[in-house]
Amino acid sequence: MHESSSVAELVKSLKGELDRYPEHGKLPSSRAMVERFKVSPVTVSRALAQLASEGLVVTRPGAGAFRAEPRTRPPEPGDTSWQEVALSVEGATGAVPRTVDASGVLVCLAAPAPGVIEFNSGYLHASLQPEQAMAAALARAGRRPGAWGRPPTDGLPELREWFARGIGGMITTAEVLVTAGAQSALTTALRAVAPPGAPVLVESPTYPGMLAIARAAGLRPVPVPVDRDGVRTELLEAAFKATGARAFICQPLFQNPTGAVLSAERRPEVLRIAREAGAFVIEDDYVRRLAHEDAGPLPRPLATDDHDGTVIHVCSLTKATSPSLRIGVLAARGPVLERMRAIQIVDSFFVPRPLQEATLELVGSPAWNRHLRQLAAELRKRRDTLTTALARHLPELSLPHIPSGGYHLWLRLPDGTDETALTSAALRAGVAVTPGRPYFSAESPAPHLRVCFAGVSGPGEITEGVRRLRTACDEVLR
């Protein structure tokens, strides 16, 4: 039985017995619970911690666990309808209203019900994460002198230097800021270069989390279409001229969701167009460490070809490790770096030092490169399993491009398909997929699905997931 389910069952059992004990009465010892319920001491500890967090028990070191005082009934909620006016006033002044919509992001963060195959996860399955290496790194980091002290606001110098070397080109340690993951870095970068109400150019389709960031900041995302060679530069140039935008956000490597790689011919064009427009390119290099075994040499980051401070580079270790290792960086030069540094200090002061120290221990260990090699092989195997299963069981779903990096495929559905109906039918069949509509900032040109292969347990679950998706398609597409 999984540890999490054992904890839940023990919590349920203990709640059912709490009425047996008087107020402040002592519960059985942890050892007695281990013997009675046939669980581990860790399970008992976690169950008691959950009961304590719910205010049902009180734990006293060295004394045990005791039933807490009964909670008083919470007061009736007040009338909060006045907030609708207060939160909407800014829209009446002509500025773009800030709409904070996390629905597109929650699709990748919400855990489906037990038994549902996660074709919608944006993170590695636990079996692909370097859990032992991360645990060992965290333990070593905790013993480092000063590990719990205040870090430099820009991040540990050794960690910034490691990232600078990884980016390459002219990037130096002084031009790197450590951030709490890529989402935080992108938020800081956008706030630094675009005032509320301004247009910002985005790839179409693009990552819903990027659209959410822009809209939450009161910006107006303007779509620029992408094909298999990346953003269409003639349309990018036209969009800059039409909007006067001062920023373009792109994913040149294994673009989300299409998997496209910006071609060698278009790379210098993107930089030229941005320079002539007096604009920044925010480069989200989010999955460079998720290249597949057959990827071959990867193109360098755009930042390595930039000499004038046009590119703001963002990268992170989260996708290649764990959702909870939220360590990323911003790399830039010139006044924009100072502005981003100030924004980050005001927002969060700094990234916790223990997490930075643990990251240094992880990437400096032999286990790191071994993990990346194993991950590249496993992702290729899963991708091939998924493409083979789709071709065999769902030939009516078009796959325009098979990427050699990343963790998902972008499927074109037959014209007229109701994405919402299909994703709902898929969930009823026991598989969670992501509809394509949230990836477009304007009208969607066609129905799509994004199907991820990194968040499942292995090839067997991929094959079963496609079988379930076939059942959903039979219901909706007939």
Domain boundaries, given as residue ranges, for the chain:
3-67, 103-128+369-476, 131-365
List all residues 6 or more positions away from 299 whose beta carbon is below 8 Å from its beta carbon. Answer: 252, 253, 261, 262, 264, 267
Q: What's the pLDDT band for 74 if we cut at 50, 70, 90?
A: low
CA distances from 151 to 157, 319, 347, 433 (A): 10, 24, 16, 41
* Cα 409 from Cα 262, distance rounded (Å): 17
Mean pLDDT, residues 163-182:
93
pLDDT on residue 366: 94
CATH class of segment(s) 3-67: mainly alpha
* Cα 451 from Cα 469, distance rounded (Å): 10
* Cα 477 from Cα 432, distance rounded (Å): 17
DSSP 97: P
CB 303 within 8 A of CB 250: no
Say whether pLDDT at 109 is over 80.
Answer: no
pLDDT on residue 108: 64
CATH class of segment(s) 103-128+369-476: alpha beta
* Cα 19 from Cα 308, distance rounded (Å): 70
Q: Which amino acid is at 398?
A: S
* Cα 224 from Cα 239, distance rounded (Å): 7
Q: Is 208 helix (H, G, I), strand (E, B) or coil?
A: helix
Question: Assign residue 257 a region: left if phi > 0, alpha if psi is -120 to 50, beta otherwise?
Answer: alpha
What is the residue-averaged pLDDT of the chain?
90
Tokens standing for residue 193: 């270069």
pLDDT on residue 144: 87
Say whether pLDDT at 390 is over 80.
Answer: yes
Q: What is the length of the chain?
A: 478
Q: Token match 């870090």: residue?
A: 151
CB 212 within 8 A of CB 340: no
Mean pLDDT, residues 178-200:
93
CB 317 within 8 A of CB 351: no
Q: Do domains 3-67 and 131-365 have the same CATH topology?
A: no
Say whether pLDDT at 1 is over 50.
Answer: no
Q: Which of 303, 472, 318, 448 is nearest to 393 (CA)?
A: 472
pLDDT on residue 133: 95
Phi first, then psi: give them for residue 328, nearest 5 degrees: -145, -175
In CATH, the number for domain 131-365 is 3.40.640.10
* Cα 5 from Cα 82, distance rounded (Å): 42
CB 7 within 8 A of CB 47: yes
Tokens standing for residue 302: 């755009």
pLDDT on residue 216: 87
Helix (H) or strand (E) holding 344, with range, is helix 335-348
Phi first, then psi: give them for residue 19, nearest 5 degrees: -65, -15
Mean pLDDT, residues 298-319:
94
